Amino acid sequence: MRTIDFSPLYRSVVGFDRLANLLETATAAEATGYPPYNIERTDENAYRVEIAVAGFRPEELNIEVKENLLTVSGRKAANDADTRRFLHRGLAERNFDRKFQLADYVVVTDANLADGLLSISLKRELPEALKPRSVAITTNPSSTLIEAEKAA
């Protein structure tokens, strides 16, 4: 196991606390790889997160976005496991929390569950004030004044 100490970063930068926290969070890898997932870029400003949630029903899944953190959680109903008797259990179907750090202005636009895959569509929506815009160039008409009087 390797750990990286980011405390020197906090001492030498001002105003980059969020960046330092993102780096620290990214290096603190989750111990489990469950459930597996894909992150796909579908367009210049669109993304898709696909999570393998075989055995979960839509009412057992929860998607929440709070302060640029997308959290997908699955809670299996307890009464389901009590009534079934398995000879072999290969599907994990265990409770999980999967977190994704979102960039600024990235919003969740859609979520769909099909064929055991939960697909979450994301889109970067820049506010109008941050979008590039063109500025018209104007020219001053040439002056035809000679000694403060108009030329004839």
Distances in Å between the Cα of 89 and the Cα atoms of 81, 108, 132, 142 are 11, 34, 55, 86
pLDDT tens-digit readout, 47-100: 999 999 988 999 999 999 998 899 999 998 776 556 778 898 888 788 999 999
Instruction: Examine the pLDDT at 142 and tell me if it is beyond 80.
Output: no
Bridge-partner residues for 73, per DSSP? 62, 97
Q: What is the pTM of this model?
A: 0.69
Domains of the chain with CATH codes = 1-31 (no CATH), 33-127 (2.60.40.790)
Buried b vs exposed e over 9-32: b needs ≥16 C-beta within 10 Å? eeeeeeeeeeeeeeebeeeeeeee
